Amino acid sequence: MVQTFTEEHIIGEIVTEFPKAGDLFKSYRIDFCCGGNRPLLEAIEERNLSKDEILSKLNTLYDEMKALNETGIDWKAASYSELIDHIINKHHRYLNEELPQLSPYVTKVLRVHGAQHPHLVRVHSLFSQLRTELEQHTIKEETDSFPLILQFEKDPSEENHDLVKKHVSELEDDHDGAGAIIKEIREITNDFQPPLGACGTYRLVYQRLEALEADLFQHIHLENNILFPRAAAGN
C-alpha cells in the first residue's frame, strides 16, 4: 500500500486534505484543531500510540474513501464566502441551538447527582464558561471578523490585511481557551463515560457533551487550519 500520509505530515493538513481523518484522530484522542499545527508523529509519541497502527489505519481509510470518491469536500479550494457560510450555517447554528438546550440538563444532573458525584460541580462550571465564551466568540465572528475577511477578499489592501491578522490572532486565542475547556471536561468525565447505574438524563448529558466536542473540533479545524491561515497569508 502506498503511504499517502506519513508521520511527518502536519495533523491539521491531513484533516484538511482528508476530512474523514478527523474521526480516526478523535478515536485516538489526537487533537487536530487547536493542536493541529504539528507533525503527526509528535502527537503519536505524546499519547504513546503505535505509529504503524495509526498510519496503517489512516492510509487504508484514505484509500477506501478515495475508491468510493468520498474523501470529502476540498475546503482549500472554496472561496472565503463559501467557507464562512458553511461555518455559520453548520457549526454556529449547531452551537446556537445546542448550548441553550443542553444547559438545563447539565444543571439538573448537578442538582440531582452532585452530592454523590462531586466532579459534576466542575463539569457544570466548565460548561457554563464554555457556553459564554462560545456565544461571545460566534457573535464576534459573525459581526466583526467574518465581514472583515470578506471585505479583505474584495479589497486586499495592506490596512485590511493588518486588521485581518489582528482578528485572526484573537480568534485563535479564543479557540485555545475553548479547546482547553472541552479537554478538561473530557478528562473529568472519564472520556464521557457515565458511572454505572447512571440515569437517562445523566447519560444524555455525557452523550451530548461528546457530540459538542466533535462538532467543536471540526469547527475549529476549518477556521484554524484553513480559513485563518489563508486570510492571514492574504491568499
Which pLDDT value is given to residue 130? 97
Which pLDDT value is given to residue 2? 64
Which pLDDT value is given to residue 92? 96
As a whole number, the mean pLDDT across the chain is 90
Residue closest to 225 by CA, chosen among 8, 15, 78:
15
pLDDT tens digits, residue range 25-84? 888 989 888 778 899 999 999 999 999 999 999 999 888 877 665 556 777 888 899 999
pLDDT tens digits, residue range 149-161? 999 988 888 888 8
Which pLDDT value is given to residue 78? 85
Which pLDDT value is given to residue 17? 83
Higher pLDDT, 229 or 126: 126
Which pLDDT value is given to residue 235? 67
**What is the model's pTM?**
0.78
Q: Interior CA angle at 167 toward 162 and 171, to 5°?
A: 150
Which pLDDT value is given to residue 186? 95
Which pLDDT value is given to residue 182? 94
pLDDT tens digits, residue range 177-227? 999 999 999 999 999 999 998 898 899 999 999 999 989 999 999 999 999
